[in-house]
């Protein structure tokens, strides 16, 4: 194998694939990237056995071939080469190393046989569903913060992508929850999506797919099966196993009868929460909200660090009540509100001074998102 490639193109392709490679691997081949040189292009493949990324970029190929080399080491080498350099990659059976050359810089890297590199099958995947890149980015950005990191409930460690039909309209919906908060975002279902199975896409896959979307074109092709999901970009593809489990019935968690509505300036409210949370206990991060007509009083009491209180004007006309939330969760949700105003809908219990039922948070400028927060004892 012998070829020449622009440093910028090589760096971009390696950047796409090397992030899937774990820093510590008990299987040596998984630390490598597979190079496949064709007639006029170079393909890159990396995998962790659960996910595979393949990228392709033009190259001046003198001799086609395949070989694998350490992904992270090569990425760091290319990153440190001067801009505009032409990089030469060559491997022959006479020297069992990959030779990397750019100007006066020369590196010899250890290799492993291409035949030992695992390839992920794409059998069973559905036909291609073309999704607008901006719309899919929105679904991910509005929901991924709520993906659980607790491994005990593995079925919550991903984003649930599925289609639903409401009032005769098909929608593509993304849902994430960790049991304390829930995020839902939806968009009109693209053509062909209605018959596709719902899948729980792992957190790492969502992170990698979202990163690749920054360099994607106007649309992305999506393929799914009950075992796998595939994202296809212009010259790059990501295939991943999905989480084998049943996502909980999230619709039971979303409150429908919360009639205590509070409208608040989102930026002012988020800043106030952030300030008073400075002295909150690290474990619970609890902030108490005392909601009254025209105002909400935010309060934090900490036996070790003191007390903080701040008042924010709101649009609310009901009975006073108190409710507590984890400050980090409040900030995560307010960080997703695109408009100037956040709408909080609290449980409608006229006789109760303290609310412990789920709270619904909406963005008046985006009807396709919903957030649910479980309160703490105020």
Tell me: the pLDDT tens digits for 3-36? 999 999 999 999 999 999 988 888 999 999 999 9
Residues 282 and 328: their CA atoms lie apart, in Å, by: 10
Structure tokens at 234: 């212009």
pLDDT for 312 equals 97
> pLDDT band at residue 350, thresholds of 50, 70 and 90?
very low
CA distance 248 to 165: 18
Report the CATH number at residue 313: 3.10.150.10
Q: Are residues 226 and 140 in the same domain?
A: yes
124 falls within a domain: no
CA dihedral 193, 197, 200, 201 (to 10 degrees): -50
H or E element in which residue 323 lies: strand 321-326
Number of domains comprising the chain: 3
**pLDDT, position 378:** 56
Checking if the pLDDT of 353 tops 60, the result is no
> Percent of the chain, pLDDT > 70?
97
Coil/strand/helix, residue 311: strand
| Residue 88 predicted with pLDDT over 80 | yes
Question: What pLDDT score does 100 carry?
Answer: 96
Instruction: Let me know whether 279 and 302 are in one domain.
Output: yes
Residue 260 and residue 363 in one domain: yes
Give the pLDDT of residue 355: 60
- Same domain flag for 140 and 169: yes
Residues 15 and 56 in one domain: yes
Q: Which domain holds residue 284?
A: 254-373
Closest Cα partner for 129 from 83, 161, 151? 161
pLDDT of residue 114: 94
Token pair recorded at residue 83: 């801009």
> How many residues does the structure list for the chain?
378
């Amino acid at each position: 194998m012998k070829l020449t490639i622009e440093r910028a193109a090589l760096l971009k392709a390696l950047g796409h694939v090397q992030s899937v490679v774990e820093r510590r691997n008990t299987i040596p081949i998984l630390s490598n990237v597979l190079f496949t040189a064709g007639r006029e292009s170079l393909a890159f493949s990396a995998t962790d056995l659960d996910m595979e990324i393949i990228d392709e970029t033009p190259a001046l190929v003198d001799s086609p071939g395949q070989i694998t080399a350490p992904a992270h080491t090569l990425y760091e080498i290319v990153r440190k080469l001067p801009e505009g350099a032409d990089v030469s990659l060559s491997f022959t059976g006479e020297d069992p190393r990959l030779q990397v050359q750019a100007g006066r810089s020369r590196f010899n890297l250890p290799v492993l046989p291409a035949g030992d590199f695992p390839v992920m099958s794409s059998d069973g995947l559905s036909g291609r569903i073309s999704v607008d890149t901006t719309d899919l980015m929105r679904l991910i950005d509005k929901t991924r913060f709520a993906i659980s990191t607790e491994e005990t409930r593995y079925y919550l460690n991903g984003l649930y992508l599925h289609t639903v039909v409401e009032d005769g309209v098909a929608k593509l919906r993304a849902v994430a929850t960790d049991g304390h908060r829930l995020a839902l975002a939806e968009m009109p279902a693209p053509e062909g999506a209605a018959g596709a199975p719902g899948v729980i896409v792992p957190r790492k896959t969502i992170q990698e797919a979202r990163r690749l979307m920054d360099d994607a074109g106007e649309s992305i092709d999506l393929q799914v099966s009950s075992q796998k999901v595939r994202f296809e970009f212009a010259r790059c593809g990501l295939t991943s196993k999905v989480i084998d489990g049943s996502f909980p019935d999230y619709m039971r968690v979303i409150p429908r009868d919360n009639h205590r509505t509070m409208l608040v300036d989102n930026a002012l409210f988020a800043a106030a929460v952030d300030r008073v949370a400075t002295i909150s206990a690290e474990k619970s991060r609890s902030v108490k909200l005392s909601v009254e007509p025209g105002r909400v009083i935010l309060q934090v009491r900490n036996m070790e660090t003191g007390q903080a209180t701040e008042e924010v004007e709101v649009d609310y006309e009901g009975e006073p009540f108190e409710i507590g939330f984890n400050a980090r969760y409040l900030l995560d949700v307010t960080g997703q509100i695109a408009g100037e105003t956040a709408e909080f809908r609290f449980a409608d219990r006229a006789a109760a001074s303290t609310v412990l039922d789920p709270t619904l948070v909406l963005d008046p400028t985006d009807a396709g998102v919903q957030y649910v927060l479980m309160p703490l004892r105020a």
